[in-house]
Amino acid sequence: MLSHHPNTVALNAIGHTRWATHGVPAERNAHPQIGGNGELAIVHNGIIENFQELKKSLLAKGYVFRSETDTEVLAHLIAEGRKHTGSLLEAFAWALRQAHGAYAVAMLCPEEPGTILAARMAAPMILGIGVGEHFVASDIPAFLPYTRDVVFLQDGEIVRITDHSWEVLALDTLNPVQKSIQTIQWDMQSARKGGYKHFMLKEIFEQPQVITDCLTGRIDEEHERILLPELDSLPVPARLHIIACGTSYHAGMWGQHLFEDWARIPVIPEIASEFRYRNVILEPDDMVLVISQSGETADTLAALRLARERGCLAIGLCNVVGSSIPREANAVIYTQAGPEISVASTKAMCSQMVILSLMALYYAQRKRLLDPQTRHEALKALKALPDQLALSLPSMRETAQKLIQPYSAARSFFYLGRGHAFPLALEGALKLKEISYIHAEGYASGEMKHGPIALIDPEFPTFAIALDDALFPKVKSNIVEVQARRGPVIALTNPGTELHVDHLWTIPAAWGPFSAFLALPAMQLFSYEMADYLGKDVDQPRNLAKSVTVE
């Protein structure tokens, strides 16, 4: 931020409340990070993918590192840039051109007091135009109390601000870029939600970016190999117990299919509160994978401790860096999904599924089980998901808004799915009940005839996940069974399938099990629109907490 008041020197300052992605939350890893011998300071949001190789080269040049952050690497690289260029701006650009990944970065340097240099690549950054003061920030709420005039920046642009001037330059050429000033009409609360009505809706629409961030640095494009260095020092599990609660448990159930199919690793999904009180059998070569967005869920943490007491190696799959589970696991993989504010988990499950996909491919790679073609198809499909989902979300929301009308009076719902879609059915049901308070049962559709089908009647609608996969014919039969008992049916399906139901909801297909990444947000939006239509407190549903840190 830069400001100037008469009879005083220009004040300029940088600061960052970082969502930790590298290094535990500790003072040494806090921002700003210092470059060189104190020649400059930077704050950074994002992930520098190639920070390890850059760090190695800087260490060889004698740079001393005080933190575990990727940000400090960038700071020293800019300092190194001063030795190869004629100005601070050129050094800044020189360094950024070598950094791969995502960054929104701002820099102060005593060499140019009163100036802030900033830049963005695959991470948000906005310029605020004040009177006698200018701002750069990741998000509008940071400076909304001071100015409503903003300049939206694009990837590959550098900003240079002083207290009385601002300019935008192209990172690659340093040529000026023409930009227009826009005026924000939002109030502060709307601004925190990025203009969305609820955090849940914002987080549903963040899922394309979440998938991109999850994949960042984890695929060696040249060799089409999965990079999960967090797991390299651990053995491949002979058997894997996936332990979690709620939505995270559903993600683990979904991942089971991939671990078994691609890596041929037997998997036992476990509800943490059950696992911790059973006399479980853990063989010497077994491992556990505990999945927890918060990293603080009491039952999941207790299950991790039990497994560790039994001598079992434990991997954490978490979103919150430095939380309890990562501190007590043998290894942790972070989902890098950013803060999830809504109590109902949406983007967290999406990010967990991305990491589970990568883990299954990684173990298959280590066991030399996966043929190159399948791995190629899987990686190609994963990388295509962000754009595919970004394109689909708006129309999904429109469909959800239309679909809830005829079903808003329902007292109870069936959610049916088979195979990969069974965990999705459980998750769809959980979403509906936890935010709209309409009872819903997720069921394996093949199980319906063993009792629950007695529930079917015209007042008991079924949400059937009938994706275009090998089990589609079976699900289609189950739908017919429901219709024979006059149960209304919404079918979530893909183009090309043939179904005759009350409401057909067709969404794009993705390769193999990855259609789940399109089905999941559709159900999230159905629940969101239903809850909003019914006037429920979507972000803070009654009786619920974001993290269940007690039994």
Please report, as ranges, the residues that interact with ligand AGP according to CB under 6 A.
Answer: 245-248, 292-294, 297, 300, 343-345, 434, 547-548
Q: Which residue from 321, 376, 336, 409 is spatially nearest to 47, judged by alpha carbons?
A: 336
Residue 473 to residue 441: CA distance in whole angstroms: 22
Pairing mode, if any, of strands 182-183 and 2-3?
A: unpaired
CB of 91 to ligand AGP, least distance (A): 42
Q: Which of residues 343 and 353 has its CB atom nearest to ligand AGP in the complex?
A: 343
CA distance 76 to 83: 11
Q: Minimum distance between the CB of residue 473 and ligand AGP, rounded to whole angstroms?
A: 32
Nearer to ligand AGP, 434 or 539 (CB): 434
Q: How far is the CB of 263 from ligand AGP (least distance, A)?
A: 23
Cα separation, 132 vs 375, whole angstroms? 55
* Residue in 399, 357, 411 with CA at minimum distance from that of residue 379: 357
Residue (325 or 464) nearer to ligand AGP, CB: 325
Give the number of residues written for the chain. 551
Residue 295 to residue 67: CA distance in whole angstroms: 23
Smallest separation (angstroms) from ligand AGP to the CB of 530: 15
**Separation of alpha carbons 25 and 22, rounded Å:** 9
Query: Cβ of residue 389: shortest distance to ligand AGP, in angstroms?
Result: 19
Smaller CB separation from ligand AGP, 343 or 429: 343
Token representation of residue 162: 């002083």
Instruction: Tell me how crowded residue 94 is: count the other CB atoms within 10 A of its CB.
Output: 17
Quick one: tokens of 400?
A: 């959800």
Residue 21 or residue 365: which is nearer to ligand AGP going by CB? 21
Residue indicated by tokens 């920030």 = 137
Q: Return the percent helix, strand and coil in the chain, to nearest 5.
A: 40, 20, 40
Closer of 25 and 473 to ligand AGP (Cβ):
25
Minimum separation from the CB atom of position 132 to ligand AGP (A)? 45
Between CA 420 and CA 415 the distance in angstroms is 14
Q: Is 477 helix (H, G, I), strand (E, B) or coil?
A: helix
If the CB atoms of residues 203 and 213 are measured against ligand AGP, the closer one turns out to be: 203
| CB contact at 8 A, 444 and 417 | yes
**Nearer of residues 12 and 297 to ligand AGP, judged by Cβ:** 297
Cis before 521? omega within 30: no
Burial 130-166 (b: 16+ CB within 10 A, else e): beebbbbbbebbbbbeebbbbbebeebbbbbbbbeeb
Q: Cβ of 512: how many Cβ atoms within 10 Å?
A: 18
Task: CB nearer to ligand AGP: give 140 or 331.
Answer: 331
Amino acid at the residue 502: D
Q: Which residues contact 268 (CB under 8 A, 6 or more apart)?
A: 239, 240, 241, 242
Q: Which is nearer to ligand AGP, 89 or 534 (CB)?
A: 534
Lookup result for tokens 């800019």: 78
The nearer residue to ligand AGP, 135 or 528, going by C-beta atoms, is 528
DSSP, res 144? T
C-beta of 434: minimal distance to ligand AGP in Å?
6
Give the CA radius of gyration of the chain: 25
CB of 316 to ligand AGP, least distance (A): 10
